[in-house]
Amino acid sequence: MKKVLIANRGEIAVRIIRTLKEMALPSVAVYSTADRDSLHVTMADEAICIGPAKSSESYLDIDRILAAAEASGADAIHPGYGFLSEAPEFARRCEEAGIIFIGPTSEIMKRMGDKAEARKTMKAAGVPVIPGSKDIVESLEDVKAVAEEIGFPIVIKAVSGGGGKGMRFVQEAKTLAQQYKAAKKEAKNAFNDDRIYVEKYIPKARHIEVQVIGDGKGNAVHLYERDCSIQRNNQKLIEEAPAAILSEASREYITGKTADAIGKLKYAGAGTVEYLYVEEEDAFYFIEMNTRVQVEHTVSEQITGVDIIRLQIEVALFDTFDISQADIEINGFAIECRINAENPSKGFMPSPGRIDRLHFGLGQGVRIDTHIFAGYRIPPNYDSMIAKIIAHAGDRGTAIRKMRHVLEETVISPIDTTLDFQHYLMNHPKYMDNTVDIKFLERNHII
């Protein structure tokens, strides 16, 4: 590996470039015309414009990204998250071009990206899954048959889904046909794939996910688990590590079972296996696997001291990593708050525009992952997340108090942001008591 192109933008591109600098590996940034003045463009050793602001003509255009790799002499590509990071076609095209794709093989990505196939794969590997259809459901009659077998309520999900798109909750039979059609239509529009499957709806649960690293040869380790239960429209807002709700026995069970399954898959690189956790049953149910680094990887890094991006690169380079499970221990507690350029009082309406004043609260155990700076103009074309604030402390209570102080000290002006909203959540009694679930915001009429 001589040079790495980052096929992404924003804070994750900045994050990757920093690790590449530590590893003495030259970096190549790609950018759209809307991102000409972005931080990742300035930080990289080289930068190449790949097209206009529209994602489909820049960050999602495989031909343009591969052309940039060829022009710069990059022999490896890190996809970050979002955009093409979970596109098997992109990984396959890199493989065919002789470019190292820093992630799993296209075959594994395709297998685990198909949520129906992923269910079957993980079930065969011994991972608990939610009751539901054994495969893709081909018709409304098939959906009705599954619903009769497992009982209402159910969830109809897009096989290629993500971010809540192509997902419909069905409480009773009389709305089934309408929701079935709506799910298929949305899945077709979002993913050009209207295949769906069905699962039992679990009304009250936590969202627990296990961070894993595999070497592609059958060896895998876990970096423990995260609790990502605070969500809005299936989008995570706050993430914690480890999951304070779990007993040591439950933690050992699900992390060990997950790492074992990833080893059996011969998975290469970083990935996250996501579960619903029902506290009353002390039961885990597999949801999906993300075959990439995730936004919330930071909290796992903070409690373990492991650089996940570095491990991804080591696996791509050497088909191995220089760490064993015995080396990985939990050190304290970490919380991540995602900060978006949005106005919560106006339905979280995006708030693009110029940042004139910027100051992040700092202190021991505080980490800021961002791409913004004073004078930066947030474009309206992309995801509205502009920063991640991470607080690390010896225990959950101290981490919460530390996060509050950091949020209070942080100034991002004059645009609207979710800083105050996150501060409100940090002070909510049920959050402090850790009595939340994935419908916490809705149940408490917060949104």
CATH number at residue 187: 3.30.1490.20
d(CA 39, CA 372): 7
Helix (H), strand (E) at residue 186? helix 176-191
- Number of structural domains in the chain: 3
My answer on whether 180 and 211 are in the same domain is no
My answer on whether 35 and 97 are in the same domain is yes
My answer on whether 142 and 275 are in the same domain is no
In a domain, 339, yes or no: yes
DSSP 152: S
My answer on whether 258 and 279 are in the same domain is yes
My answer on whether 98 and 82 are in the same domain is yes
State in Å, rounded, how far the first CA of the chain is from the last one: 47
d(CA 376, CA 334): 29
> Tell me, what's the pLDDT at 447?
78
Can you point out the beta strands (E) in 242-332? 268-278, 283-290
Angle at 191 between CA 151 and CA 215, to 5 degrees: 90
The residues, any chain, with a CB within 8 Å of residue 406's CB and separated by 6 or more, are 360, 361, 362, 363, 366, 389, 391
DSSP 137: B
Sign of CA dihedral 49, 50, 55, 59: negative
My answer on whether 193 and 220 are in the same domain is no
For the record, the structure tokens of 369 come out as: 């992952």
Instruction: Look up 292 and say whether it is catalytic.
Output: yes
d(CA 167, CA 165): 5
My answer on whether 71 and 217 are in the same domain is no
My answer on whether 344 and 408 are in the same domain is yes
My answer on whether 237 and 305 are in the same domain is yes
In a domain, 439, yes or no: yes
d(CA 28, CA 47): 5
My answer on whether 300 and 194 are in the same domain is no
Q: What is the pLDDT along the chain (447 residues), one digit of tens a residue?
A: 899 999 999 999 999 999 999 999 999 999 999 999 999 999 999 999 999 999 999 999 999 999 999 999 999 999 999 999 999 999 999 999 999 999 999 999 999 988 888 888 898 888 889 889 888 899 999 999 999 999 999 999 998 877 678 899 999 999 999 999 999 999 998 888 999 999 999 989 999 999 999 999 999 999 999 999 999 988 999 999 999 999 999 999 999 999 999 999 999 999 999 999 999 999 999 989 999 999 999 999 999 999 999 999 999 999 999 899 999 999 999 999 999 999 999 999 999 999 999 999 999 999 999 999 999 999 999 999 999 999 999 999 999 999 999 999 999 999 999 999 999 999 999 999 999 999 999 999 897
- 64, 93, 195, 292: the catalytic one is 292
Angle at 386 between CA 384 and CA 389, to 5 degrees: 130
DSSP 81: S
In a domain, 126, yes or no: no
We report the CATH number of the domain holding residue 38 as 3.40.50.20
From 160, 171, 108, select the one nearest 136 (Cα to Cα): 160
d(CA 22, CA 20): 5
> Tell me, what's the pLDDT at 29?
98
Domain that holds residue 16: 4-102
My answer on whether 323 and 381 are in the same domain is yes
My answer on whether 353 and 238 are in the same domain is yes
In a domain, 158, yes or no: yes
> Tell me, what's the pLDDT at 113?
86
Which amino acid does the sequence have at 332? G
